[in-house]
């Protein structure tokens, strides 16, 4: 079968690899669509991020949908031909954090396409993949397999909301409206946020944010002072989600969140120069959020009934043969939001 | 009467000022003891902190105890001669945050000895002061007025614990064991922490931390790597209280706190260079804590029955006439913890 | 002006009463629509409920919308002709609970049409009413004044959700799908519930529940055992909202909620025979919910953009002259959900 | 070896049973002390409780301490002769609730001496027992093995406090001051409760409650109206722990807890006639609490340093040969609190 393999910085190719053989307890899935994520891009563009580096060839990808191709005899409850979204979250279930119910922090996590451990965890950008039954989430007849591949980034948004406590009735700001930020906005609207303000430095993501349910959008490149009014009286937002990974956006968040408000940090790129008095005086609560686990089922359920409609986020679909071009396209954030690979095109 | 007035950097003196006249609804208190706090020292040493600067002569001080000297005729429930701790927290009760029950974030707070607003809020380092009945907290017969003046910094510790959620059964690290950190340790022990590790760069505060209830103490000057073992497996502490205001201590806190753990930022001095991935990957929760409000009553109650015994924290008591020397003494943190002024000595 | 006055059990009439004169700080509103609530019906049918009895003639009603008719000169920010929903919640702002931010538990609450205090708090079923500016919530141009009068019962649902903690991603059961239960279902869908099962003993409310967003409906009269399967493995629902006020429904809730799940008690009528072991063994959390306060603004915001569409709940609108007949109609729950009075018809 | 076997109502005897053979992964412990718990008494006096009935002979007991007698070769980290408290909590680690981190609600729990499942889970009132390493909690040199056997009921109290959220700074009422209630009071004092009022119908438990840290005690037999003053202004206690299992005590709890307060139900005996309006109007939060899991380690840690001193709770120690008499003694709650069996006496 074919797979999208990254061997290091700018070393990306579609390669022939062995098709995995079906083993006991497993389900083999023919992959349909795969969305290119920011971490996939980091591996491609920089060979990794921070201390995480690609040290051996690794298939990328973790946002995938597909069709069940074959099922081990000891697995029940599934049928060949079922159209599914696939959760890439494979915690061990036994470690300290799994036993606390914090599976996304599993000490032995095998998340698709991750160079954190060595040997690396091979990704899901390939034609066939073996999955555990718990990874399988059937989709509704009317939902496209392309949309189903949004379940993963939508889960990231849902988990970020869980980390915030609750947004029901809250006034919320989202900074950074790429695919994650935009799907988060769709989730926030569904989770009962009262007012959603979306900010970015480009128009395309803001158009998407609006389509996903934002009440107001702010282009910080065109109107850099548009957030200033929200600093009044110790801040006006109950919750801020920082999804741009930019240092100024994070500092802005601390200014516009209200006293005792919550800043959820979704984006990872930034290194900030932070006077701790900014956190102390208003008693801000800065919370990291990372991946998801149980939220995947919720994401599929929301997509299935279009309680969240992710279609505005997908800006392009490319065949597997054009995978490298697709990655280059995804890297231009002013022109692309989510770029997907069609594996059976 | 005499008061300790700061007119700017290094401009500190004991001055004659008018004794306040008793007015309706108020109680006049003869001040007994006043503890010198870090913020008092900042005004004295630097004329302020950050953007907060002394712009007019201001009496310092907010950690005070005293004896009721006279009571307005319309005030009931108190008696002349009552020995009391005085809460310096005077929120408006009407603003957005007061109506949310977050009185310590009051938009119109009149906290003693604060140059945040202008005109400044005059402090309580003087011989007589007018207080509202809600500021008055009677102390037990066997409690000294000196100990009663610890109710304020103990309240800071109690509020920090409230900000952490709960420490019952938790493994806790406290970095920075000055008067605030040490009283916090006493409060943590009383609040049911399971294990308390205390770290500092000097021996005197660690001796105090031990006396206040720490299980283990670490001198980071002598054994800089002593915290390294706590980084294992995504961190070992459920909660870290950073009370030193130092940047390396804050970065250490992020390393040793467990995934989904809480870092409460008590100390304000530091400016840190923070890669946000440090917060994101382990989903750390960084929470500011600032002053207190309802915790003052709890602090007095704990001191009254010695459920927290603050005596190890007081290292020196100086007469009002030696106030400036007392400030200099308090500034040498290797030799002093809490230095108090005796106003009626 | 005319008002709907209740003088005791079955003593309901439309009477002429003095039009209130505009006073400083107030706004006079011409009432448009008023929804008949269960508590209004209790006053009419039984002269009260529990120990709360009508002891003097009292105007009923608290679910009202209207148009601003005149404004005191000292009030700014509003205009004559504005179409508004009116919050009936008038807490004192000063008592212990208001200062805790729990305004709906105000010790001095003046909620419209309540015989709890004496003299009673007169209701809003009248042609003109004086309101404080904080009670005024402008509605969107496209929203009918009839729908605007649903803001109050929708607020009850939103507050019930707040009391539950969070329903995002939760499997939820609602028992009792009258106007409160049905609007609650609309709110649950908007608040991100994953699956919503609705149960009642009649078809009309279940049809409405479905229209408001329920995934599955159960007629417990026709299929009394339909909930039994949800008892398996210590219960299947994360949260149950009991809005029927019936004892069997409450006992059912304890059976089908999962261990550590939450049962929110919305309905008040029932007296249950409760073995406490039912709460202890599974560690159920049974929480009362009562009225609302800040949720009113959220309700108006959701109605304004039809993030919750309450129209399926309104089954009849009657002119003021037919008020008594309207009450009789509202009392027949198999045929009516929300019955509204049109005051300017 | 000898064991205390219950074969049904009033069928209790010390019997010879086979000594368990050491198997891989296990530790064999010579039991030192065993405390008689209310559930042991229910099996003895009534053959069970509610639908839980003894259907085959079962060793009773789950509050035990002992000394490690032998260790399987594959077990590391323990030594023969170690003095330990033994946790009776043996969850499966795999079921839905274990994976949520709610181990005490495990669907496959094997808690010592429980007739809930069939075959029953044999208890720990015997001379030798096999335990998993995770059940083993070493005790401090200065702690007696008798005190160590209090770790289990103290854990029940600690878990009840966890269920309440937090008691730091709270005004708390405990109704029912038997061994569970009294150890709970010790835990509440250690967890930072501000004021603890203890109520019972007999003097002996109240004397113990006082010794464990209660501020005020109320004998409801002698002064039945003593709680009435706490009903004022929608209740005066932030949290009430009902540990008597009596219906009037539960109804009292609803009256004296404040609006939005928490009633934790610890005692299981009562069946109450509950008007739900009692829960709704004040928005009370009624929470069940059941056993414990991770709290056992905290209990041992608190006992080890006498952060909680449980000695006032133990009123008698009887040799194994007098086991039946010991059960009769424990059943007379006016004369006994915790009665322990000395297995090696």
Q: Return the pLDDT at B51.
A: 84
Q: How many helices (H) and strands (E) does chain D have?
A: 10, 19
Q: For chain C, what is the mean pLDDT? A: 97
Across the C:D interface, residue pairs with CB atoms under 8 Å apart total 130
Q: Which residues pair with A6 in a beta bridge?
A: A12, A58
Largest CA distance in chain B: 64
Under the banding of pLDDT at 50, 70 and 90, the label for residue A345 is confident
Q: Return the pLDDT at A151.
A: 98
Return the closest-CA partner of residue A324 out of A2, A1, A6.
A6
Contact assessment for residue C102 and residue B104, using Cβ atoms and an 8 Å cutoff: no
User: Cβ B276–A245 below 8 Å, yes or no?
Assistant: yes
Whether A189 has its CB under 8 Å from any CB of chain C: the answer is yes
Q: Return the pLDDT at A259.
A: 98
Rg for chain B, CA atoms, rounded? 20
C194 and C146 in a common domain? no
Under the banding of pLDDT at 50, 70 and 90, the label for residue B344 is confident
User: Cβ D101–A103 below 8 Å, yes or no?
Assistant: no
Q: Return the pLDDT at B72.
A: 98
* Structural domain includes residue A146: yes
Q: Return the pLDDT at D344.
A: 85
- For A50-65, write each residue's pLDDT tens digit: 889 999 999 999 999 9
Q: Return the pLDDT at C269.
A: 75
Q: Return the pLDDT at C268.
A: 79
Contact assessment for residue C239 and residue C164, using Cβ atoms and an 8 Å cutoff: yes
Contact assessment for residue A130 and residue A69, using Cβ atoms and an 8 Å cutoff: no
User: Would the pLDDT of B215 be above 90?
Assistant: yes
A206 and A88 in a common domain? no
User: Would the pLDDT of C203 be above 90?
Assistant: yes
User: Would the pLDDT of B270 be above 90?
Assistant: no
Residue to test with chain C: of B91, B101, B294, most C Cβ within 10 A: B101
Under the banding of pLDDT at 50, 70 and 90, the label for residue D223 is very high
Residue A262: exposure state from Cβ atoms within 10 A (0-12, 13-18, ≥19):
buried
Q: Return the pLDDT at B318.
A: 98
Please list every residue in chain D whose beta carbon sits closer than 8 Å to the beta carbon of residue B298: 168-169, 192, 194
Total domains in chain B come to 2
* Structural domain includes residue C179: yes
- Segment B248-257 shows an average pLDDT of 96
C101 and C8 in a common domain? yes
Q: Give the ranges where D47-118 is alpha helix by DSSP (H).
A: 96-99
Length of chain B equals 345
Interfacial C residues in 117-156 facing D (CB < 8 Å) = none
Chains that touch A (3 or more CB pairs under 8 A): B, C, D
Interfacial C residues in 279-338 facing B (CB < 8 Å) = none
Q: Return the pLDDT at C8.
A: 96
Q: Which residues pair with C121 in a beta bridge?
A: C114
Under the banding of pLDDT at 50, 70 and 90, the label for residue C267 is confident
What CATH number did the domain enclosing A230 receive? 3.40.50.720
- For A268-278, write each residue's pLDDT tens digit: 778 999 999 99
**Domain encompassing residue D205:** 154-288
- For D274-332, write each residue's pLDDT tens digit: 999 999 999 999 999 999 999 999 999 999 999 999 999 999 999 999 999 999 999 99
User: Would the pLDDT of B338 be above 90?
Assistant: yes
Looking up tokens 């019906």 gives C41
A173 and A185 in a common domain? yes
D272 and D324 in a common domain? no
* Structural domain includes residue A266: yes
- Segment C254-267 shows an average pLDDT of 97
* Structural domain includes residue B298: no
Return the closest-CA partner of residue C166 out of A158, D176, B30.
A158
C130 and C21 in a common domain? yes
Under the banding of pLDDT at 50, 70 and 90, the label for residue C93 is very high
D131 and D36 in a common domain? yes
User: Would the pLDDT of A334 be above 90?
Assistant: no
Whether C94 has its CB under 8 Å from any CB of chain D: the answer is no
Residue to test with chain B: of C90, C100, C293, most B Cβ within 10 A: C100
User: Would the pLDDT of C223 be above 80?
Assistant: yes
Full DSSP string of C56-81: S-EE---EEEEEEEEE-TT--S--TT
Q: How far is CA C11 from CA B102, C115, C320, D149, in A?
A: 46, 15, 16, 67
Please list every residue in chain B whose beta carbon sits closer than 8 Å to the beta carbon of residue D192: 161, 168, 187, 190-192, 298
- Greatest mean pLDDT range, B270-279, C201-210, C265-274: C201-210
Close Cβ partners of D321 (under 8 Å, ≥ 6 residues apart): D14
What CATH number did the domain enclosing A44 receive? 3.90.180.10
Chains that touch B (3 or more CB pairs under 8 A): A, C, D
User: Would the pLDDT of B269 be above 90?
Assistant: no
B161 and B146 in a common domain? no
Question: CA A116 to CA A267: how far, in whole Å?
Answer: 18
Question: CA D263 to CA D270: how far, in whole Å?
Answer: 15
Please list every residue in chain A whose beta carbon sits closer than 8 Å to the beta carbon of residue D98: 99
User: Would the pLDDT of B342 be above 90?
Assistant: yes
Please list every residue in chain A whose beta carbon sits closer than 8 Å to the beta carbon of residue C297: 169, 194
Please list every residue in chain D whose beta carbon sits closer than 8 Å to the beta carbon of residue B165: 166
Contact assessment for residue A168 and residue A192, using Cβ atoms and an 8 Å cutoff: yes
User: Would the pLDDT of D238 be above 80?
Assistant: yes
B162 and B118 in a common domain? no
Share of chain A above pLDDT 90, in %: 97
* Core vs surface per residue D220-254: b (16+ CB within 10 A) or e: beeeeeebeebeeebbbbbbbbbbbbbbebbbbbb
Distance from the Cα of D104 to chain C's closest Cα (Å) equals 9
Residue to test with chain B: of D151, D192, D303, D306, most B Cβ within 10 A: D192
Q: Return the pLDDT at C44.
A: 97
User: Would the pLDDT of D334 be above 90?
Assistant: no
User: Would the pLDDT of B268 be above 90?
Assistant: no
Say what angle helices B38-46 and B323-331 make with each other, to 10 degrees: 100
- Segment A202-227 shows an average pLDDT of 97
- Segment A9-25 shows an average pLDDT of 97
Q: How far is CA C161 from CA A169, C93, D264, in A?
A: 11, 23, 21
Give the Cα-Cα-Cα angle B49, B55, B59 (nearest 5 degrees). 85
* Structural domain includes residue A302: no
Ranges assigned E (strand) in C181-333: 195-200, 216-219, 237-242, 257-265, 271-275, 285-288, 314-319
Q: Examine the predicted complex and report whether its ipTM is higher than 0.95.
A: yes
Q: Return the pLDDT at D270.
A: 80
User: Would the pLDDT of A155 be above 90?
Assistant: yes
A84 and A38 in a common domain? yes
B283 and B314 in a common domain? no
* Structural domain includes residue D172: yes
Ranges assigned E (strand) in chain C: 2-8, 11-16, 27-35, 48-49, 52-53, 58-59, 63-71, 83-86, 128-131, 136-138, 171-175, 195-200, 216-219, 237-242, 257-265, 271-275, 285-288, 314-319, 338-342
* Structural domain includes residue D295: no
Closest Cβ opposite residue D271 in set C107, C271, C274: C274
| Cβ neighbours of C11 (radius 10 Å) | 13
Under the banding of pLDDT at 50, 70 and 90, the label for residue A246 is very high
A212 and A96 in a common domain? no
User: Cβ D99–A94 below 8 Å, yes or no?
Assistant: no
pTM of the model: 0.97
Q: Which helix (H) or strand (E) holds D13?
A: strand D11-16
Return the closest-CA partner of residue A125 out of A83, A153, A88, A154.
A88
Across the A:D interface, residue pairs with CB atoms under 8 Å apart total 16
* Structural domain includes residue C18: yes
Whether B94 has its CB under 8 Å from any CB of chain C: the answer is yes
User: Cβ B288–A285 below 8 Å, yes or no?
Assistant: yes
- For B135-175, write each residue's pLDDT tens digit: 999 999 999 999 999 999 999 999 999 999 999 999 999 99
User: Cβ C166–A166 below 8 Å, yes or no?
Assistant: yes
User: Cβ B191–D195 below 8 Å, yes or no?
Assistant: no
User: Would the pLDDT of C49 be above 90?
Assistant: no
């Amino acid at each position: 079968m074919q797979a999208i393999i990254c061997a290091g910085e700018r070393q990306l190719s579609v390669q022939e690899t062995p098709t995995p053989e079906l083993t006991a307890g497993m389900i083999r899935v023919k992959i349909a669509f795969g969305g290119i994520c920011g971490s996939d891009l980091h591996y491609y563009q920089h060979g990794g991020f921070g201390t995480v580096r690609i040290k051996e060839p690794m298939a990328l990808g973790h946002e995938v949908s597909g069709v069940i191709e074959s099922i081990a005899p000891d697995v029940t409850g599934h049928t060949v031909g079922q159209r599914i979204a696939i959760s890439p979250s494979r915690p061990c279930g036994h470690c300290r954090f799994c036993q606390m119910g914090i599976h996304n922090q599993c000490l032995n996590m095998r998340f698709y396409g991750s160079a954190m451990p060595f040997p690396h965890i091979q990704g899901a950008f390939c034609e066939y993949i073996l999955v555990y039954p718990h990874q399988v989430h059937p989709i509704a007849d009317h939902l496209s397999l392309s949309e189903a591949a949004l379940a993963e980034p939508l889960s990231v948004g849902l988990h970020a909301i869980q980390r915030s406590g609750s947004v029901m009735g809250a006034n919320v700001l989202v900074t950074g409206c790429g695919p994650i930020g935009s799907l988060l906005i769709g989730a926030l609207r569904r989770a009962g946020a009262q007012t959603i303000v979306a900010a970015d430095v480009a128009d395309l993501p803001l158009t998407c944010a609006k389509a996903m349910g934002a009440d107001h959008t702010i282009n910080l490149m065109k109107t850099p002072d548009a957030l200033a009014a929200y600093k009044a009286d110790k801040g006006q937002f109950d919750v801020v989600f920082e999804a741009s990974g930019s240092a100024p956006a994070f500092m802005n968040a601390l200014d516009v969140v209200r006293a005792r408000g919550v800043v959820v940090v979704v984006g990872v790129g930034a290194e900030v120069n932070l006077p701790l008095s900014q956190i102390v005086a208003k008693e801000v609560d800065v919370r990291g959020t990372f991946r998801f686990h149980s939220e995947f089922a919720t994401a599929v359920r929301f997509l299935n009934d279009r309680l969240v409609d992710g279609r505005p986020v997908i800006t392009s679909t490319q065949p597997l043969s054009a995978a490298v071009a697709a990655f280059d396209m995804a890297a231009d954030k002013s022109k692309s939001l989510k770029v997907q690979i069609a594996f059976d095109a």
